[in-house]
């Protein structure tokens, strides 16, 4: 059965001003994918994420999500797509003056018509979903880095999004916390069917969670490879991809 497409990227050029990071990018993210955007430093991974989420306009090309072209659609249509998406930033981006429950409640207060009581209940449920049951009244300064990432994920899930974007989710985490976050991403994907897009260069996470990917190359400013990371390791299209996936090992 043919997979449904969640994100369709066509002839995309990404950059700032006159500087181009990536040109002529074509790829699709299927519904239910854990899709990895990988590559070395400076290849444009985070900029690609900004284009997908509508925060950075492309220099050329199209990003089609839910039938909406994120490059040219009216702002109100783009906002509707954003409301069906969640983002986990590197730092978690929690508001330090709010409790965890208040952080999760914020998007619900802004974009839903739920009563305050229902919002409190949903915030509690989202925290429990990411393993933070009982931490509703804690402030970000009172929890660990790994817990902040989980709380940030709970907020990203507040509106039951179709797509969740992760920007370097393992950044700043110890190996155990990073592994636990990977396991949580896999479980959310399996249990909720959420499409997940992850920007990362962490090989352990790439191989643990990814079932589809693109490899961005800073030198050619192109997508150099596309497919399951494990398959790319078995059959690398070139030396650059092989060295990235083996930490510089020579064939």
Nearest 5°: the CA angle 173, 225, 82 is 60
Does 123 map to a domain? Answer: yes
CB 93 within 8 A of CB 140: no
Question: Exposed, middle or buried, 93 (CB in 10 Å: 0-12/13-18/19+)?
Answer: middle
Number of domains forming the structure of the chain = 1
Question: Exposed, middle or buried, 115 (CB in 10 Å: 0-12/13-18/19+)?
Answer: exposed
In whole angstroms, give the CA distance from residue 1 to residue 233.
26
Query: What is the full DSSP assignment across 170-235?
Result: TTT--HHHHHHHHHHHHHHHHHH--EEEEE---HHHHHHH-SEEEEEETTTTEEEEES-HHHHHHS
Does 1 map to a domain? Answer: no
Does 101 map to a domain? Answer: yes
Q: Which domain holds residue 108?
A: 91-152
Does 110 map to a domain? Answer: yes
Does 248 map to a domain? Answer: no
In whole angstroms, give the CA distance from residue 213 to residue 52.
15
- The pLDDT profile of the chain, 251 residues, written as one tens digit per residue, is 678 999 999 999 999 999 999 999 999 999 999 999 999 888 999 999 999 998 899 999 999 999 999 988 898 998 889 889 999 987 668 999 999 999 999 999 998 999 999 999 999 999 999 999 999 999 999 999 889 999 999 999 999 999 999 998 888 888 898 999 999 999 999 998 999 999 998 999 999 999 999 999 999 999 999 999 999 999 999 999 999 999 866 65
CB atoms within 10 A of CB 1: 3
Q: Determine the pLDDT at residue 96.
A: 92
Q: How far apart are the first and last CA of the chain?
A: 37
Q: Determine the pLDDT at residue 250.
A: 60
Does 107 map to a domain? Answer: yes
Which residues on adjacent β-strands are paired with residue 3?
A: none
224 Rama class: left (phi>0) / alpha (psi -120 to 50) / beta: alpha
CB 185 within 8 A of CB 169: yes
Does 134 map to a domain? Answer: yes
Does 251 map to a domain? Answer: no
85: part of which helix (H) or strand (E)?
A: strand 85-88
Q: Determine the pLDDT at residue 240.
A: 92
């Amino acid at each position: 059965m043919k997979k449904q497409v969640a994100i369709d990227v066509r002839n995309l050029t990404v950059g700032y001003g006159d500087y181009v990071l990536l040109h002529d990018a074509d790829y699709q993210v299927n519904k239910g994918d854990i899709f990895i955007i990988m590559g070395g430093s400076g290849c444009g991974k985070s900029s690609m994420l900004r284009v997908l989420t509508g925060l950075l306009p492309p220099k050329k090309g199209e990003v089609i999500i839910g039938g909406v072209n994120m490059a040219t659609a009216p702002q109100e249509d783009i906002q509707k797509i954003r409301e069906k998406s969640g983002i986990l930033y590197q730092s978690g981006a929690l508001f330090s003056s709010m409790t965890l429950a208040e952080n999760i409640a914020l998007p619900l207060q802004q974009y839903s018509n739920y009563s305050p009581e229902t919002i409190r209940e949903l915030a509690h449920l989202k925290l429990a979903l990411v393993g933070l049951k009982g931490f509703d009244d804690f402030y970000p300064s009172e929890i660990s880095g790994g817990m902040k990432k989980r709380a940030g994920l709970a907020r990203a899930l507040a509106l039951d999004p179709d797509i969740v974007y992760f920007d370097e989710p393992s950044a700043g985490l110890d190996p155990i916390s990073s592994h636990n976050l990977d396991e949580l991403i896999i479980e959310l994907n399996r249990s909720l069917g959420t499409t997940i897009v992850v920007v990362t260069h962490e090989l352990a996470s790439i191989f643990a969670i990814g079932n589809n990917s693109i490899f961005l190359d800073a030198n050619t400013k192109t997508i150099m490879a596309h497919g399951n990371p494990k398959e790319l390791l078995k059959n690398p299209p070139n030396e650059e991809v092989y060295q990235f996936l083996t930490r510089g090992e020579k064939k």
